[in-house]
Amino acid sequence: MHINSHFAIGVIIASIFHHIFVFNILEFILIVFSAFLGDLDVFFSKYAKDHNHRNLISHSIIPSIIIIILGLVFYWPALIISGLAYFTHIIVDQFDWGTNFFYFPQRTFGPRFLIKKEEHELSKYLAEYKNPSSFFDFKYYKSKISLTIEILLFILMMVSIIILAFEYIFITLIYFLGLYFHLSRHFHLKKIESR
């Protein structure tokens, strides 16, 4: 799932729990940030098995467990909910490409709905593209389910923040930065592949 979708999930989670705990702006942002924090590991892909950032420890349940434990130790609800938001990121990523859920077996888990059974041996499919990232990008944007989920998450994000945390609605502007990043990357990859 894309960063903007994880951001939307973070806003939904923060808004729901804000209605219960009344978070200050920093706590609200902490929860939202935790929902997409795991994707910042993309900058360390070269250290991952198969250069896939989802094989790093940051795409396992270990960081979320640590965050939740710290939240319990310090009795800080915002940190506990941040751990939940991080955990949600890992669960959601199971469905498109999978993640290294437990980390230690060093293998990808999850239904991986965007990859057909015959595509599990990715190397020959990636070789068909000038940029291997195009394989994943094109599969994602050709999936009506992925696009529908993105639209629904945006709607749910807006509804939840308007109803439950209207004072923080300005945070939703950040969503469009993530969307811009992914769309500009998509059109850039299309241009590369069409040459």
Q: How deeply is 25 buried, as exposed, middle or buried, from its count of CB atoms within 10 A (0-12, 13-18, 19+)?
A: exposed
In whole angstroms, how far apart are CA 98 and each of 111, 159, 160?
A: 7, 29, 27
Per-residue pLDDT band for 51 (boundaries 50, 70, 90) equals low
Name residue 33's amino acid: F
The answer, yes or no, to whether residue 118 has pLDDT greater than 90, is no
The DSSP secondary structure of 145-162, one letter per residue, reads HHHHHHHHHHHHHHHHHH
Number of structural domains found in the chain: 1
Q: Answer whether residue 20 shows pLDDT above 80.
A: yes
- The domain in which residue 42 lies consists of 3-194
| pLDDT at residue 40 in the model | 86
Looking at the DSSP bridge assignments, the partners of residue 109 are 99
57-112 pLDDT, tens digit per residue, is 888 999 999 999 999 999 999 999 999 999 999 999 998 888 888 887 777 788 88
pTM, entire model:
0.91
pLDDT at site 44: 79
Q: What is the Cα gyration radius of the chain?
A: 17
Q: Write out the H or E segment, with its range, that includes residue 126.
A: helix 122-126
